[in-house]
Each structure stands twice: as C-alpha cells, then as structure tokens.
C-alpha cells in the first residue's frame, strides 16, 4: 500500500485554517480582546429575503408526496440552469443549459476538474494566487510553472509566448489582488491558449463586483473563449451562499481536445462522483434571479463595495499603496515599513486586534503584501480601519 506522497509537497495546513488557528490561539490567550476578522473572504450579511422565502417553500415541497425530490440530476435542475442561461444572455453570452453544471461551489469544481486532465500536463499559475489552484495540482503531482504578478504588471500578468502551458489558471477580479483584466488583456490570454492548445480555467467567483460594461465579467465575452476555456462561478460572494453552498461551472460544447468533448467528460465525471446540490438549495439559488432577488443581492454587493471604499480611503490617508477594492471585495496592500506579510499579520493582530490575510500565503510574490476583505459588517470595518490607523501611527 502506498499513500499519495504528493501530499508531502504541500503545506501542512490550508492558509485559512492556519489563520483561524493563530487567531483562536490569540483569543484564548487574550479573552478580553475583541478581535475583528477581515481575513477569509466570508460574507457577513444574511441571505436575502427572496432567497429565504424560496428556501422555505422548497422545504414545504419536500413535505408532500407531489413536491418531494429525491436524487436530482447530478448536473443540476433545469429550473436553475435556465436562469443561468438568461443571466449569461444578459452579458451577451449564448449558452445551452447543458453547458452549465450546478455544483456545491467553485472551490470544489476547481479541484475536481483536474480529473479530466493528464498528470503530465504543465500548469501555468499566476503568483500570487488563490492557494487552491497550487495545492490541488501539487496533490496530483503536476508540474507547475509560475507566472509573476507584481507591481510592475499591476498584478495582471500577460502571456509569455516562450512558456509552454497546457492548463492555465486565471482569476478576474483577482483573489487576492483585486486586479481585473480588461477585454484586450483577456483576448491575449484566449489567443495564447488557442495557439498552445491549452485550456484556461477561469475563476469568475467575484464577477458580480464589477461595475459598468467596461470590464469583462465572463471569459466567454471574449471571441474564441468557448474553444479554450472553462468558467467557474458561485453564489457564495454574489448572494451570500458561503454556508449554503451552490456554484456553477460552464463547460462549452466547443471545447474539444483529442477529438473528445470536455463537456461530455465532465458530465461523465459528475454523474459518477457527485449526486448533485440539494433541491432546496438550488431553489434558493434560483430566487436570486427574480426581480426582487436581483434588487436585494445588488444592495448587499453595494454594501460590501462601500466597505471597500472605507478601507481604501483609510489606506489613502496612511499613504499605503494598494490594488483592488474598486471592482473587487479585496484590498491588496503593501505592508508598511517593509514588514513581511506574517510580521504585519502579527502586528495587526496584537496591536489592533484585526485579522487579515498575509500575502505570502498566496505565493512568493505575495511576500510583503497583505489582503483585507470588504465582507465584514460596516461597524467592524470602520472600527478595524480606525484601529489599524491608530496602531500604525503609534508604533510604526
Ligand atoms: C478567500 O478568502 O480567499 C476565499 O473566501 C476563499 C474561498 O472562497 O474559498
């Protein structure tokens, strides 16, 4: 018997588990201190009324013989997929409902999709990056090539023709940097992927934070993308489903490699290894697309974006540079006084009782940077920024 020794090549614990552990230890040692968490990107506003009503109705359905639902279609109920077809049509993207797969969230699918690809593929991953991309490929023993995202390219690296890649990860609006690719930049990526015969895994989990039509909210708004990209998205940040769990993955029919439909492979994979998202949860997610649901979720997103402005303006006053915060819930800042990411983490925890995420946890280029999230509640966001300002002015 042999274990998967690739697990020896990843950090012992996942970034956000490590932060939670450090925070809990600090709280245990300092029970009188009120710690504000602006670390993990977890929402704080409750589910909107329209979603709650739909969840209740779905629970009632389950209590009658006619309304009861047992195993559902593994790839999701048509009632939710049809809403997503309309949602994409609103972005100018034409999809068939069979190109959409409902899941329990983007994170799971971003890892699970790797079942479809050979172990010997080379994976191109920007650094810094959401740690799931690196960890899941390391677990599978794949060769990873990193692409530098830094202040010089505004944390938006573009393709390097001299690098050969088979699988490419892109996240826009980016986690952790908050940077957003424009249409021309994404087109460069699509052209590069087509030339390389590569597949882009496009993480659009934060698309709802983009305002206006100047920036792409789906990779399929780029010509040619259906031939080279899979898109992952979720209701977590859009509609507060971090604890309720529902997401979706788009695998276009046009995506074909080695004469094989990737859509068919994914359907085969999902029907074998996944039994679908609960009917009740999918009903809740479908309510996001009613007129009232859209109004309510947009209010919540606007609230978080206002938090981002509060964080950004406090940083402006402190003369600290940052990216993000405008079309993204994340603010990615340069640690003051050339502190390392973890030094600044400890400083903020101890001197301001505020938790953030050390940039170094997202890769080597994240060293010296720090991420704050706008998903806190208003009172805590204001208080946290006051405390950070006081601590920096007093100690640094
Ligand atoms: C984050 O804080 O980066 C995200 O909340 C993690 C996630 O979405 O899984």
CA of 101 to the centre of ligand 1 (A): 21
- For residues 323 and 311, is the Cβ–Cβ distance under 8 A? no
Tell whether ligand 1 has an atom less than 6 A from the beta carbon of residue 40: yes
Provide the pLDDT for residue 178. 97
Tokens of residue 130, six digits: 């959401």
CATH (residue range 5-47+292-395): 3.90.1150.10
Degrees (nearest 5) of the Cα angle 216, 207, 225?
A: 45
Tell which residue, 9, 25, 34, has the closest CA to residue 354.
34
- For residues 73 and 276, is the Cβ–Cβ distance under 8 A? yes
Give nearest CA residue, ligand 1 atom 9.
107
Q: What 3-state DSSP class applies to 56?
A: helix
CA of 224 to the centre of ligand 1 (A): 29
Integer Cα distance of 78 and 89 in angstroms: 16
Supply the DSSP symbol for 179: -
Residue reference for tokens 């109705």:
57
Give nearest CA residue, ligand 1 atom 5.
41
Q: Which positions ≥6 away from 235 have C-beta within 8 Å?
A: 241, 244, 246, 247, 285, 288
Tell whether ligand 1 has an atom less than 6 A from the beta carbon of residue 138: no
Q: Which positions ≥6 away from 188 have C-beta within 8 Å?
A: 158, 159
Tell whether ligand 1 has an atom less than 6 A from the beta carbon of residue 318: no
Tell whether ligand 1 has an atom less than 6 A from the beta carbon of residue 245: no
Tell whether ligand 1 has an atom less than 6 A from the beta carbon of residue 107: yes
Q: Report pLDDT digits (tens) over 236-278.
A: 999 999 999 999 999 999 999 999 999 999 999 999 999 999 9
- In CATH, 49-289 is 3.40.30.10: no
3-state helix, strand, coil in the chain (%, to 5): 50, 15, 35
Provide the pLDDT for residue 11. 87
- For residues 244 and 204, is the Cβ–Cβ distance under 8 A? no
Strands of 107-237, DSSP E: 122-127, 143-148, 167-171, 199-203, 229-234
DSSP secondary structure string, 292-326? Answer: HHHHHHHHHHHHHHHHHHHHHHHHHHHT--EEESS
Q: What 3-state DSSP class applies to 39?
A: coil
Tell whether ligand 1 has an atom less than 6 A from the beta carbon of residue 20: no
Q: Give the number of other Cβ atoms within 10 Å of residue 7's Cβ.
A: 11
Give nearest CA residue, ligand 1 atom 1.
41
- Beta strands at 122-127 and 167-171: parallel, antiparallel or unpaired: parallel
Give nearest CA residue, ligand 1 atom 8.
41
CA of 360 to the centre of ligand 1 (A): 15
Domain boundaries, the chain: 5-47+292-395, 49-289
Integer Cα distance of 216 and 288 in angstroms: 21
Provide the pLDDT for residue 51. 98
CA of 41 to the centre of ligand 1 (A): 5
> Rg (Cα) of the chain, in Å, rounded?
21
Tokens of residue 143, six digits: 């060769």
Tokens of residue 182, six digits: 């424009």
Q: Report pLDDT digits (tens) over 28-42.
A: 999 999 999 999 999
- For residues 355 and 346, is the Cβ–Cβ distance under 8 A? no
Number of residues in the chain: 396
Tokens of residue 260, six digits: 């094989």
Torsion of CA 208, 209, 213, 217, to 10 degrees: -50
CA of 317 to the centre of ligand 1 (A): 28
CA of 15 to the centre of ligand 1 (A): 10
Ligand 1 pocket: which of 19, 41, 208, 234 to mutate (most atoms <8 Å of CB)?
A: 41
Phi, psi of 373 (to 5 degrees): -105, 150
CA of 3 to the centre of ligand 1 (A): 28
Q: Give the number of other Cβ atoms within 10 Å of residue 242's Cβ.
A: 17
User: In the chain, which residues have pLDDT < 70?
Assistant: none
Q: Which residues pair with 332 in a beta bridge?
A: 323, 371
Q: Which atom of ligand 1 is nearest to the CA of 42?
A: 5
How far is CA 260 from each of CA 56, 116, 117, 254, rounded to the nearest angstrom?
Answer: 42, 11, 12, 10
Tell whether ligand 1 has an atom less than 6 A from the beta carbon of residue 359: no
Q: Which atom of ligand 1 is nearest to the CA of 107?
A: 9
CA of 5 to the centre of ligand 1 (A): 26
Q: What is the pTM of this model?
A: 0.97
DSSP secondary structure string, 242-261? Answer: TTT--EEEE--TT-EETTEE
Integer Cα distance of 263 and 250 in angstroms: 9
Give nearest CA residue, ligand 1 atom 3.
41
- For residues 87 and 237, is the Cβ–Cβ distance under 8 A? no
Ligand 1 pocket: which of 14, 18, 42 to mutate (most atoms <8 Å of CB)?
A: 42
Phi, psi of 267 (to 5 degrees): -60, -45
CA of 261 to the centre of ligand 1 (A): 30
């Amino acid at each position: 018997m042999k274990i998967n020794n690739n697990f020896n090549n990843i950090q012992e614990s996942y970034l956000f588990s490590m932060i939670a552990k450090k925070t809990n230890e600090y709280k245990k040692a300092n029970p009188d201190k009120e710690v504000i968490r602006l670390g993990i990107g977890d929402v704080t506003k409750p589910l909107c009324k329209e979603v709650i009503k739909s969840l209740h109705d779905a629970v009632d359905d389950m209590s009658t013989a006619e309304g009861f639902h047992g195993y559902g279609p593994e790839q999701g109920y048509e009632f939710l997929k049809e809403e997503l077809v309309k949602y994409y049509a609103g972005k100018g993207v034409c999809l068939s409902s069979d190109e959409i797969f409902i899941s329990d969230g983007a994170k799971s699918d971003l890892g699970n999709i790797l079942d479809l690809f050979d172990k010997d593929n080379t994976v191109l991953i920007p650094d810094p990056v959401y740690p799931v991309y690196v960890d899941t490929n390391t677990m599978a023993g794949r060769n990873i090539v990193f692409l530098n995202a830094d202040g010089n390219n505004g944390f938006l690296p573009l393709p390097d023709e001299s690098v050969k890649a088979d699988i490419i990860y892109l996240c826009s609006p980016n986690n952790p940097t908050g940077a957003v690719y424009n249409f021309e930049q994404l087109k460069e990526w699509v052209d590069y992927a087509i030339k390389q015969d590569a597949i882009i895994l496009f993480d659009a989990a934060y698309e709802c934070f983009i305002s206006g039509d100047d920036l792409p909210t789906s990779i399929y708004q780029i010509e040619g993308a259906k031939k080279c990209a899979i898109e992952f998205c979720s209701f977590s940040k859009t509609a507060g489903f971090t604890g309720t769990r529902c997401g979706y993955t788009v695998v276009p029919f046009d995506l074909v490699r080695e004469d094989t439909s990737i859509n068919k492979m994914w359907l085969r994979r999902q029907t074998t290894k996944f039994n679908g998202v609960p009917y009740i949860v999918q009903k809740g997610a479908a309510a996001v697309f009613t007129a009232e649901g859209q109004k309510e979720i947009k209010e919540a997103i606007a609230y978080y974006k206002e938090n981002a402005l509060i964080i950004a303006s406090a940083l402006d006053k402190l003369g600290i540079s940052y990216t993000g915060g405008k079309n993204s819930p994340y603010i990615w800042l340069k640690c003051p006084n050339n502190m390392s990411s973890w030094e600044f983490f400890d400083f903020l925890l101890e001197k301001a009782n505020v938790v953030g995420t050390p940039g170094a946890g997202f890769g080597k280029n994240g060293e010296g940077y720090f991420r704050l999230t706008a998903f806190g509640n208003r009172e805590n966001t204001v208080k946290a920024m006051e405390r950070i300002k006081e601590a920096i002015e007093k100690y640094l």
